[in-house]
Chains A and B, each alone.
Chain A
């Protein structure tokens, strides 16, 4: 083999290894992908996974391909701004970079002084000013309620809010977590579980490959009525959902039976979280569980498990709720509340929720 051939193979090996390493770490993968793509353009290397909605990104069905715009709160600012600092431990429904395009309007209509959002699965230490009125909002989508508030201590407890991060906040909790994670990784899981998804995103997650991905999806859908495992199509073929919110073999299904003991456990956890954070500087803790699109739009398909009303109406509940279930359920055209090709709400659904938040904050 010539020297030139050896160098070529060495180069191939190096590039392949670099891709492999990048895919082992979520942050590195994101850095690589962000470097190449720009969601605001329609370039060839633009990431297509969320351009047309996360459900399109899971299925690549042409019938469910609509431009995914951020929600907007376009109403005029409210008359008064309450001196409330609103902190949110939540998911993508309220994440500004993913969802809300006009944060100032949201702040104004929510009538709060400031709004800070933290991902529910990324515990952090956060500085708060205890001389101000601080309200914590714990938000998650309905499909994650039974998972996030399950038997084991929910990781929501892992957030640390303190007015002085330089004081002796026990670091051991984070250190032990690191040591525990290291041991787990070394002995039980060497390579991250999502390495294949990361590699797929780095290699094939671009608009460039859209036609071939759509061809595959359409072939399976039109010939065999088969869609990607993570999605489910409604019987009238007009809507698409996360399969886990429809299929009753999943805990997160809107139609999976819930025993009453589990509702009591969830309420117990909610109250414990409320007490935990009110003892640590918050004036109050509110909860908001956003209904699954399937709960609202496919209400007649199967028997709803009544998760949200049962929690809200439980006699032991102590926390306040930003509850939009009844309003969404009774809305004349419920399909307008959620995006057709994405699991998140539309601007209309979001605005209804903000109005409800405002009503609840009036009591402060």
Chain B
């Protein structure tokens, strides 16, 4: 069920109210049951896949802790292979098969790999990475194996972050799932306002911008250049509001129940460099890649060439993580190249004239926005058409209500101002909660687009 649906509202009220009624000792069970219900609302039978990976990783954690050196590695590898195997089958098999079949065709080889009509289990990439994080931390000795199967299952399936993160670390979440927590009205108010802000970003901003973006991307070959440029800018904010909106809701829901999730975004479009961008965007994923891929590859404690190679690999895999298509691969590679260039600039051109921050911010935003073209385009052809139309189309807006375009820009400016001031403000308590909550709910209803649009990152 989607966070921006009425169904979820009733689910949330039922579960959260019951959470404070049931004794502490069985709260984990309530949350686990609720998480199962939440997951099965999408495709019930896929819970069996989740159950399989939970059993494998739960067992692997205990076996790794008990085993000696070589045994630890074997169990860790088995666990990672099981997780990556499930991910590879459901997410990447068809992509690789169709590309291999294309090569076979081209080489006149009379054979083709079968293509299966597999529906991607929702949130597969997220909970797989979260599960792998657990076994790796147990292997490294940073986390004791969780003996309680239910608590471990809840760690993987905890519903607010099950389908689109943030990707949590076991050291951060597991203790919180056992912690005794009493009702706190300040946390409740904070959580509600966080949820409302997340919902506002999703249905008022992201889904409004999506109307224009979808209109342009549906048939870019007939769009004037200004439409294309506006769509590129809008998509940058659409994906930000969509994803950060979901994260805000997940954080708000958890806060009410006394569980703190990792902050996943820190005003990324105020970044002054690409390196900084990746410390502010999808923080839980970038830190996962840093800790479990980049550092094991040697991190920055290697030769310069090897460093750039490591960065290249990390961003290639990051692109693939997002989706099984060449568009995502190119998006990842572009970011890898930009990070490498940023590193070179820092190392060899630190003497260069310092430009004002605003120029750097706009420059980084432009680079990121152009990379998003590959992320958004359903095919490489569409992406190339987008680039071509920037040059060849006319410089006028067409096919869309100009009032609505202006309104979208107003929403973007409002978002930037609010997030800028939020980042500078120290939290001192909630004032005027009822007024803010009522105004927020009213604004969401009046200005929101409610056409059951799925969150973009649900598809990963």
Whether, in the assembled complex, B17 has its beta carbon less than 8 Å from a beta carbon of chain A, the answer is yes
CB distance from A312 to the nearest CB of B (A): 36
Interface size on B, residues (CB 8 A): 29
Does B10 count as interface, using CB distance less than 8 angstroms? yes
Interface string of B429-453 (1 = CB under 8 A from A): 0000000000000000111000110
Contacts of A20 in B (CB 8 A): 7, 10-11, 14
User: A19 at the A/B interface (Cβ < 8 Å)?
Assistant: yes
Cβ distance B205 to chain A, nearest Cβ, rounded Å: 15
Residue on A with the closest CB to B18?
A13
Interface 0/1 of A2-22, CB less than 8 Å to B: 000110011011001101100
- CB of A9 within 8 A of CB of B44, answer no
A196/B44 in contact, CB under 8 A: no
- A216 in contact with B403 given A17-B14, A190-B40 (CB within 8 Å): no
- Whether the pair B17, A10 counts as a contact (CB closer than 8 A) is yes
Contact of B7 among A187, A191, A216 (CB under 8 A): A191
Cβ-defined contact, B18 with A199, below 8 A: no
Given the known inter-chain contacts A1-B182, A20-B7, please indicate yes or no for A226 contacting B43, CB distance below 8 A.
Answer: no
Residue of B nearest to A213 (CB): B445
Query: B41 contacts A191, CB within 8 Å?
Result: yes
Q: Given A10, A19, A23, A188, which contacts B44 in the complex, CB threshold below 8 Å?
A: A188
A190 to B44, CA, bound (A): 6
Whether the Cβ atoms of A195 and B403 lie closer than 8 Å is: no
Per-residue B-contact encoding for A204-245, CB less than 8 Å = 1, 0 else: 000000001001100100011110010000000000000000
Asked if B149 is an interface residue, CB under 8 A from chain A, the answer is no
A203 at the interface (CB under 8 A from B): yes
Q: How many residues of A contact B (CB 8 A)?
A: 32
How does the 8 Å CB contact mask read for B388-408 relative to A, with 1 for contact and 0 for none? 000000000000010110010
A330 on the B face (CB < 8 A): no
Task: Kindly supply a per-residue 1/0 record for chain A positions 74-91, scoring 1 wherever the CB is within 8 Å of any chain B CB and 0 otherwise.
Answer: 000000000000000000
- Would B10 and A16 count as touching, CB distance under 8 A? yes
CB distance from A355 to the nearest CB of B (A): 42
A125 in the interface (beta carbon within 8 A)? no
Q: How far is the CB of B103 from chain A (nearest CB, A)?
A: 35
In the bound complex, residues from chain B placing their C-beta under 8 Å from that of A1 are: 20, 182-183
Q: Does A186 contact B (CB under 8 A)?
A: yes
Query: Residue of A at shortest CB range from B48?
Result: A187
Selected from A5, A12, A224, the residue in CB contact (under 8 A) with B183 is: A5
Q: Hey, which chain A residues are within 8 Å of B41, CB to CB? A: 190-191
Given contacts A12-B13, A16-B17, contact A225 B401 (CB under 8 A): yes
Does chain A have a CB within 8 A of B142?
no
Contact check, A215 vs B446: say whether CB atoms are below 8 A apart. Answer: yes
Q: Is A189 an interface residue (CB 8 A)?
A: yes
Question: Which residues from A are CB-within-8-Å of B10?
Answer: 16-17, 19-20, 23, 199
B403 & A224 in contact (Cβ 8 Å cutoff): yes
List, in ascending order, chain B residues with CB within 8 A of A153's CB: none
By beta carbon, the residue of chain B nearest A12 is B17
Give A39 Cβ to nearest chain B Cβ, in Å: 23
CB within 8 Å: A-B pair count: 78
Complex CA gap A31/B429 in Å reads 45
Given A1-B182, A200-B6, A223-B404, are A16 and B44 also a contact pair (CB < 8 Å)?
no
B13 touches A189 (CB 8 A): no
CB contact list, B210-250 vs A, under 8 A: 211
Judged by DSSP, the binding face of A is: helix
Residues of the B chain whose Cβ atoms lie less than 8 Å from the Cβ of A13: 13-14, 17-18, 21
Complex contact B452–A9 (CB within 8 A): no
Cβ of B6 and Cβ of A203 under 8 Å apart? yes
State A224–B403 Cα separation when bound (angstroms).
6
Q: Which residues of B contact A223 (CB under 8 A)?
A: 403-404, 407
Among candidates B14, B45, B446, residue contacting A216 with C-beta atoms closer than 8 Å: B446
Residue of B nearest to A222 (CB): B403
Contact check: which of B1, B6, B401 meets A191 at CB < 8 Å? B1
Taking CB atoms, residues of chain B closer than 8 Å to A226 are 211, 401, 404
Considering only residues 84-101 of chain A, those with a C-beta below 8 Å from chain B are: none
B 11-42 contacts with A by CB, 8 A: 11, 13-14, 17-18, 20-21, 40-41
9 contacts between A and B (CB under 8 A): A1-B183, A5-B183, A16-B10, A23-B10, A190-B41, A199-B6, A223-B403, A224-B404, A226-B401
User: A-B pairs with the 6 shortest C-beta distances?
Assistant: A13-B17, A224-B404, A16-B13, A187-B45, A199-B6, A9-B17
Residues of B within 8 A of A (CB): 1, 5-7, 10-11, 13-14, 17-18, 20-21, 40-41, 43-45, 182-183, 211, 401, 403-404, 407, 445-447, 451-452
Chain A residues with CB under 8 Å of chain B are 1, 5-6, 9-10, 12-13, 16-17, 19-20, 23, 186-191, 195-196, 199-200, 203, 212, 215-216, 219, 223-226, 229
15 additional contacts (CB under 8 A) given A19-B10, A23-B7, A229-B451: A1-B183, A10-B17, A12-B13, A13-B18, A16-B10, A16-B13, A20-B7, A20-B11, A20-B14, A188-B44, A188-B45, A219-B446, A223-B404, A224-B403, A226-B404
